[in-house]
């Protein structure tokens, strides 16, 4: 997976979270970001990493996203580590 692929996947996850008012509210509350601020920072590495952290913290949410998006759940962890700057083997 390339960094561009990981960034695109993070934006997909963010769109998924924002598409549900409960998840959107929870994500914004946990990150401390307002909807107005989110528009300006959605493509930042910090927010992209936070979207992965959020979805990885809830297996049901992760599986729901992956099913809806047609994404293999095994790709989320490596994408997160790629954007977070961690080594992942």
The answer as to whether 21 is a domain residue is: yes
**Structural domain boundaries enclosing 8:** 3-84
Quote the number of domains for the chain. 1
The answer as to whether 79 is a domain residue is: yes
The answer as to whether 89 is a domain residue is: no
Note the pLDDT tens digit of each residue in 3-48: 999 999 999 999 999 898 888 888 888 888 888 888 888 888 888 9
The answer as to whether 12 is a domain residue is: yes
The answer as to whether 52 is a domain residue is: yes
Beta carbons of 16 and 10 less than 8 angstroms apart: no
Note the pLDDT tens digit of each residue in 61-77: 999 999 999 999 999 99
The answer as to whether 42 is a domain residue is: yes
The answer as to whether 73 is a domain residue is: yes
- State yes or no: pLDDT of 87 exceeds 70: no
Straight-line distance from the first to the last Cα atom of the chain, in angstroms, rounded to the nearest whole number: 12
**pTM for the full model?**
0.85
């Amino acid at each position: 997976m390339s960094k561009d692929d990981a960034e695109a996947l993070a934006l997909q996850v963010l769109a998924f979270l924002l598409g549900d008012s409960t998840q959107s509210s929870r994500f914004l509350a946990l990150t401390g970001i307002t909807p107005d601020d989110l528009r300006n920072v959605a493509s930042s590495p910090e927010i992209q990493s936070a979207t992965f952290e959020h979805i990885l913290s809830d297996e049901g949410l992760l599986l729901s996203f992956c099913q809806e998006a047609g994404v293999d759940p095994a790709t989320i962890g490596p994408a997160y580590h790629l954007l977070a700057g961690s080594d992942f083997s």
